[in-house]
């Protein structure tokens, strides 16, 4: 970083020498030495500036300061340049700090004049807290001007220094790297190794074949070809899924603004937002997307409102303030508290103003979020199932290698058998046997069956409004232990609703004990939720009649103010016709709003009160009509004359509307010579102060004296403590208006602008004085009705719920009680586990972890980064967290969590792309349904994985026993592939449709490290596999014994004709070659297929007996068993159908009835073996946990 020289008044030479020595000696400490009396006041101030970092903390060597210095020694300058280069390199780009050796000039104010230097400015935009600095300080730091902006030269230099205002994209992985990643899975590597070995041995076999036998060479390569085809298909699917991982970053890039209105050299111009630099002055207005993080410096309207929902997740727009009013008291305040900052990507919903760009590109809030997404992707871990499958693959690798090597070693003495031409031929033959054993041990169909099962699970979840983006997340839901959820829109409706109304009334009866009480405040509950006009006001029997009979009563005025002092509109969507539903039209919300949420709530209140609209035809029942029927009638009959816009000082809005002299609600003001009446709504604490009277429900008006005013304020405090957002509604009658407003009837908007009172916002507070209070309305975002029951279900299932919101503590705790996160009957809120984000993370780490270990928790005033921190901490506690989110700020946490759940209706594209699944209805209850479905899927997945493994154990036993006994191979590698892929795959997939257990959601989440096959299941399936292996070898040996061959002869079959002779006139070639071996192999294969079909029927329940839960409970299983069996029969009897080549390619022949009796005799006992082992398993479970119900 370049150093500046300070021009000083020349002192005596010895003093300069002394200063040089002192300065050189202390420079390593980062100080600039000044001596009082030698410098002028301005020079001492500039030296102080040199010692002070731009933002809090840091030393001069941190690269975030403007440095002024006297002359330094050359070694020290070289040292500082080296330090500057190291700091410069650490920032990954040349966008920060000055150039090496730059000498910058300064103006009379002691700040850098960057227009004369190579480097624009020494300004650390990555860590500056612009929201807590004064605007004057920012002008000094950024060397810009409100009226002139930057010069073109300054802008060009800063663009080179800071780079374009775009989000940096990580370099995508190459296609070859993505392909290579697909072969990192251990199971895939085993298959690849087996395929390569099988291909090599097949090649050697072809080379050794006799000339007449080489015509069928292609048969030798069927096995490696099938395995390679499976691997290629798996790799293609994996590459496609991997390429979609960067979609969230692209969606984040798309949310940036395209253009910006900027002031440079005093001229307003439109430029690409990518050209913005710190120090630029921009203009923003309604509808603009903020192009960079900026500090509001002035307003061009009375107020400016922004929608920061994409960053904070909150639905209510926020007001921004310029100057000192927008400066935050504390440094690095949460986004919600930074009232003077405009953040990149947010939208201006009202007003306009000028702002000073303080941060661009990756230093903006959006850039920080992208960094979080990128970091989360780098830290992504496999799902619990993926981890268990990897462990299983590693174990399988060791087992397969050991068994194959053992088989080959055991076979070494047989390699010099005379039947082989050479020992090499024998070694190749038994190597192929070992490879066949490897094929038998590998469940080739397992990856495909898992993928298919998860895909089918996604269809079921889609029926429950859950759209799954990443297949593994379906299974992960089954072991979710913590659900971290937003409040707004997930636990609540995200639709502000008026739930309480307070009116002044006469007591129901005056008795002797209450004679002095002439009136009292009455509160009425308002039923209904969301933006539906359906619902009633409890205690108001017929609001419509009351409004008509008492047009000057308080209830009528509440309806009038709600409908007229309002710019919002409710729209209704008529139900889709049945014919359109069949076309697959998307389901839409019936009622929605246009405008501010709070004003929309008042529109619905006006509809529930009624009064002006009559249901006189069939059209009146349609949502498109009911949505705004009364509001539109109010606005037609009481046209607006002028609007007194909301102001942050008076915190109220009012309108002048024409009312007929008679106040008859059915009369039209436009046809009866109406005159203006002022209708006002605003914050109670300020509006009530400007009220002098209060209207009663019967229309009479009473003075708002001290006693009544205290009652009203106490009631407002009570409503706010629940907490409700309160609005006071008031009116000012025509006769009380200023003379110029009583008969004001403007023809054009220009007439309003010319009015001496309406043209000056400063006079609005005077106009809104001497008001008559008509009522108080309490509004809130209500909890979804079904969420409370869902959270109780989570508690039963051992799943904890954590609510993370940007709201204040009181609001968060109230909603938590409404939805059963906290006990609704709890009276002491201080004892509840509710923390503000900043408060929680200031605690010691061990205390934080201790808090997170148990119970439901609420985090309020949470910052965007808090969610990702909490997810990491929960994962460090071995929890499996699911995280919900809808805003851009949620993307890193959604990417980090084991399950990221985005909102489908209110969610941004960024959050959806980062999530694993999307809720189509934004409802927490849907998450619980998805967890239940995930548990069912995992239970069924465990069933079919155990089924496949048990089948392979049987195949291993068959080949291993045959090799040890010296028998001819009972099954070829082609037979094993047929069993694993065709006859095992469909039944395994059908097991994915098993019905859920009745107590599925009453058990705690399974541990993430729980193996797929427990110790007992492994023992059980080894015993089952042992019988399968014995039966497969037994039917094979039985055939040869029926041909008069003893077992000892069968064990030395290669010596047939040399040491022993077959009986019954048979020859060795007829028994052990060609069709002679095909029949016993067909018996073994068919017996194996039948046993596996019977095992699939038994696997409809892992523990329950077939007599209790039969295969008929899963119709898909019956289809999954019958289909492959019929396919096997088709191949078996293909010669009888005129397709002999099909059976020949498998080396099998048709069976007779006697053969089928033999097959049944060996296959059926598997059911008895499995039932006995199930009974033992139930007994062991009951012994370990006596409270567990007997099944």
Q: Do 979 and 955 meet the contact criterion of CB atoms below 8 Å apart?
A: yes
Q: Do 414 and 966 meet the contact criterion of CB atoms below 8 Å apart?
A: yes
Q: How far apart are CA 333 and CA 301, in angstroms?
A: 26
**Which residues, other chains included, contact 204 with Cβ-Cβ below 8 Å and sequence gap of 6+?**
428
Helix orientation angle between 597-609 and 554-564, rounded to the nearest 10 degrees: 140
Phi, psi angle pair for 155, to nearest 5°: -60, -40
Q: Do 903 and 490 meet the contact criterion of CB atoms below 8 Å apart?
A: yes
- Using only C-alpha atoms, the chain has a radius of gyration, in whole angstroms, of 40
Closest CA to 505 of 493, 487, 521: 521
Q: Do 404 and 438 meet the contact criterion of CB atoms below 8 Å apart?
A: yes
**Which residues, other chains included, contact 746 with Cβ-Cβ below 8 Å and sequence gap of 6+?**
641, 642, 752, 755
| Tokens 């005077």 found at | 766
Residue 265, phi-psi category: left (phi > 0), alpha (psi -120 to 50), beta (remainder): left
Phi, psi angle pair for 658, to nearest 5°: -80, 130
Q: How far apart are CA 775 and CA 696, in angstroms?
A: 9
Q: Please count the other Cβ atoms lying within 10 Å of the Cβ belonging to residue 357.
A: 31
Judged by DSSP in three states, 554 sits in: helix
Q: How far apart are CA 1121 and CA 553, in angstroms?
A: 76
**Which residues, other chains included, contact 386 with Cβ-Cβ below 8 Å and sequence gap of 6+?**
472
Token readout for 221 is: 């390569």
What burial class does residue 893 get, using C-beta atoms within 10 Å of its C-beta: 0-12 exposed, 13-18 middle, 19+ buried?
A: buried
Q: Do 1151 and 1084 meet the contact criterion of CB atoms below 8 Å apart?
A: no
Q: Do 453 and 937 meet the contact criterion of CB atoms below 8 Å apart?
A: yes
Q: How far apart are CA 108 and CA 40, in angstroms?
A: 13
For the chain, give the longest Cα–Cα distance: 131
Token readout for 698 is: 């019967």
Token readout for 1007 is: 């541990």
Distances (CA, A) of 456 to 459, 475, 939: 5, 12, 14
Token readout for 1178 is: 């139930």
Give 417-455 as a DSSP string.
Answer: -TTSSSHHHHHHHHHHHHHHHHHHHS-TTHHHHHHHHHH
Q: Where are the beta strands (DSSP E) in 265-368?
A: 267-272, 281-284, 293-299, 305-307, 318-319, 341-342, 347-350, 353-359
Token readout for 311 is: 């960053």
Name the active-site residue from 185, 288, 293, 486.
486
Name the DSSP class of 537: B
H/E run at residue 80: helix 74-90
Whether residue 486 lies in the annotated active site? yes
- Cα torsion 410, 415, 419, 421 to 10°: value is 170
Name the DSSP class of 1061: -
Strand-pair category, 68-69 with 293-299:
unpaired
Q: How far apart are CA 149 and CA 115, in angstroms?
A: 13
Q: Is the alpha carbon torsion for 47, 48, 53, 54 positive or negative?
A: negative
Instruction: Catalogue the active-site residues.
Output: 486
């Amino acid at each position: 970083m370049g150093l500046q020289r300070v021009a000083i008044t020349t002192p005596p030479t010895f003093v300069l020498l002394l200063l040089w020595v002192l300065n050189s000696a202390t420079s390593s400490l980062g100080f600039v030495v000044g001596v009082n009396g030698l410098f002028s006041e301005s020079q001492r101030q500039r030296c102080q500036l040199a010692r002070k970092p731009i933002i809090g903390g840091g030393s001069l060597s941190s690269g975030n300061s403007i440095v002024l210095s006297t002359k330094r020694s050359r070694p020290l300058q070289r040292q500082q340049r080296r330090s500057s280069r190291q700091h410069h390199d650490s920032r990954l780009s040349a966008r920060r700090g000055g150039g090496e050796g730059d000498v910058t000039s300064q103006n009379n104010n002691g700040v850098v004049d960057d227009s004369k230097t190579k480097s624009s400015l020494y300004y650390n935009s990555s860590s500056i807290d612009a929201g807590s600095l004064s605007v004057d300080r920012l002008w000094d730091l950024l060397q810009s001007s409100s009226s002139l902006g930057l010069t073109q030269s300054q802008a060009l230099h800063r663009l080179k220094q800071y780079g374009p205002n775009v989000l940096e994209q990580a370099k995508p992985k190459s296609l070859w790297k993505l392909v290579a990643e697909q072969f990192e899975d251990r199971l895939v590597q085993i298959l690849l190794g087996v395929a390569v070995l099988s291909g090599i041995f097949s090649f050697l076999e072809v080379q050794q074949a006799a000339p007449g036998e080489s015509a069928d060479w292609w048969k030798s390569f069927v096995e490696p070809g099938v395995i390679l085809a499976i691997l290629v298909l798996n790799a293609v699917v994996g590459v496609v899924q991997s390429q979609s991982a960067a979609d969230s970053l692209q969606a984040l890039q798309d949310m940036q603004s395209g253009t910006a209105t900027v002031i440079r050299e005093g001229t307003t111009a439109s430029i690409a937002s990518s050209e913005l630099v710190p120090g630029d002055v921009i203009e923003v207005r309604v509808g603009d997307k903020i192009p960079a993080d900026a500090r509001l410096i002035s307003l061009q309207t009375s107020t400016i409102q922004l929608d920061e929902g994409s960053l904070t997740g909150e639905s209510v727009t926020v007001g921004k303030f310029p100057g000192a009013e927008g400066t935050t008291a504390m440094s690095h305040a949460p986004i919600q508290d930074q009232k003077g900052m405009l953040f990149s990507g947010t939208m201006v919903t009202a007003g306009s103003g000028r702002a000073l760009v303080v941060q661009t590109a990756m230093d903006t809030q959006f850039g920080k979020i992208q960094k979080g997404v990128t970091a989360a992707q780098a830290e992504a871990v496999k799902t619990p199932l993926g981890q268990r499958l990897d462990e299983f693959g590693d174990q399988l690798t060791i087992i397969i290698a050991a068994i194959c090597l053992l088989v080959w070693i055991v076979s070494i003495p047989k390699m010099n058998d005379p039947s082989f031409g050479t020992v090499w031929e024998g070694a190749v033959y038994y190597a192929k046997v070992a490879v066949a054993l490897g094929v038998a041990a590998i469940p080739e169909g397992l990856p495909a069956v898992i993928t298919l099962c998860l895909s089918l699970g996604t269809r079921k979840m889609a029926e429950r409004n859950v759209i799954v983006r990443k297949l593994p997340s379906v299974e992960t839901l089954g072991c979710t232990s913590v659900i971290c959820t937003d409040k707004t829109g997930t636990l609540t409706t995200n639709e502000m609703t008026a739930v309480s109304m307070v009116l002044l009334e006469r007591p129901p009866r005056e008795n002797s004990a209450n004679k002095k009480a002439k009136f009292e405040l009455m509160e009425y509950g308002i039923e209904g939720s969301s933006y539906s006009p359906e619902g009633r006001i409890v205690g108001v029997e017929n609001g419509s009649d009351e409004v008509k009979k008492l047009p000057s009563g308080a209830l009528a005025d509440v309806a009038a103010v709600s409908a007229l002092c309002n710019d919002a509109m409710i729209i209704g969507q008529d139900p889709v016709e049945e014919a359109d539903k069949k076309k697959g039209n998307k389901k839409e919300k019936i009622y929605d709003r246009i405008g501010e949420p709070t004003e929309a709530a008042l529109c619905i209140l006006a509809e529930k009160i009624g009064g002006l609209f009559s249901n006189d035809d069939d059209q009146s029942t349609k949502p498109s009509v009911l949505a705004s029927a009364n509001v539109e009638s109010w606005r037609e009959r009481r046209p607006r004359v002028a609007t007194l816009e909301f102001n942050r000082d008076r915190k109220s809005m009012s309108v002048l509307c024409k009312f007929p002299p008679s106040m008859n609600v059915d009369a039209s003001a436009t046809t009866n010579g109406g005159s203006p009446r002022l209708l006002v709504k605003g914050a109670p604490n300020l509006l009530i102060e400007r009220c002098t009277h209060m209207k009663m429900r019967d229309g009479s008006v009473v003075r708002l004296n001290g006693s009544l005013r205290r009652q009203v304020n106490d009631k407002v405090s009570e409503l706010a403590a629940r907490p409700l957002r309160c609005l006071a509604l008031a009116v000012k009658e025509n006769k009380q208006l200023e003379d110029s407003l009583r008969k004001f009837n403007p023809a054009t908007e220009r007439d309003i602008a010319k009015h001496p009172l309406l043209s000056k916002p400063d006079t609005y507070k005077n106009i809104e004085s001497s008001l008559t209070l008509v009522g108080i309305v309490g509004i809130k975002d209500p909890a979804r009705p079904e969420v409370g029951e869902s959270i109780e279900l989570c508690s039963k299932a051992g799943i904890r719920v954590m609510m993370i919101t940007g709201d204040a503590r009181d609001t968060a705790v109230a909603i938590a009680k409404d939805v059963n996160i906290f006990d609704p009957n709890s009276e002491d809120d201080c004892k509840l586990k509710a923390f503000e984000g900043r408060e929680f993370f200031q605690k010691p780490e061990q205390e934080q972890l201790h808090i997170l270990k148990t119970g439901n928790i609420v985090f309020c005033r949470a910052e965007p980064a808090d969610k990702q921190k909490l997810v990491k901490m929960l994962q460090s506690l071995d929890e499996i967290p699911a995280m919900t989110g809808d805003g851009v700020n949620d993307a890193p946490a959604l990417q980090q969590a084991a399950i990221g759940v985005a909102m489908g209706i209110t969610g941004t594209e960024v959050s959806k792309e980062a999530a694993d699944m999307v809720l189509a209805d934004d409802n927490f209850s849907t998450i619980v349904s998805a967890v239940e479905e995930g548990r069912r899927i995992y239970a069924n997945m465990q069933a079919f994985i155990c089924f496949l493994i048990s089948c392979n154990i049987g195949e291993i036993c068959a080949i291993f026993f045959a090799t040890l006994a010296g028998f001819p191979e009972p099954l070829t590698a082609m037979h094993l592939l047929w069993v694993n892929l065709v006859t095992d795959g469909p039944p395994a997939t059908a097991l994915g449709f098993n019905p859920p257990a009745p107590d599925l959601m009453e058990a705690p989440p399974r541990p993430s490290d729980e193996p797929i096959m427990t110790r007992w299941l492994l023992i059980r399936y080894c015993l089952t596999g042992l019988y399968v292996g014995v039966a497969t070898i037994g039917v094979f040996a039985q055939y040869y014994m029926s041909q008069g061959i003893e077992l000892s002869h069968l064990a030395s079959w290669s010596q047939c004709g040399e040491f022993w002779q077959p009986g019954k006139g048979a020859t060795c070639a007829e028994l052990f070659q060609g069709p002679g071996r095909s029949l016993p192999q067909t018996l073994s294969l068919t017996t194996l297929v039948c046993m596996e079909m019977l095992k699939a029927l038994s696997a409809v329940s892992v523990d329950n007996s077939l007599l209790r839960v039969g295969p008929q409970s899963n119709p898909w299983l019956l289809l999954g068993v019958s289909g492959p069996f019929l396919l096997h029969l088709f191949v078996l009897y293909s010669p009888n159908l005129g397709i002999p080549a099909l059976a020949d390619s498998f080396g099998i022949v048709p069976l007779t009835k006697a053969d089928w009796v033999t097959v049944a005799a060996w296959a059926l006992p598997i059911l008895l073996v499995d039932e006995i082992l199930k009974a033992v398993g139930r007994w062991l479970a009951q012994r370990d946990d006596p409270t567990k119900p007997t099944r």
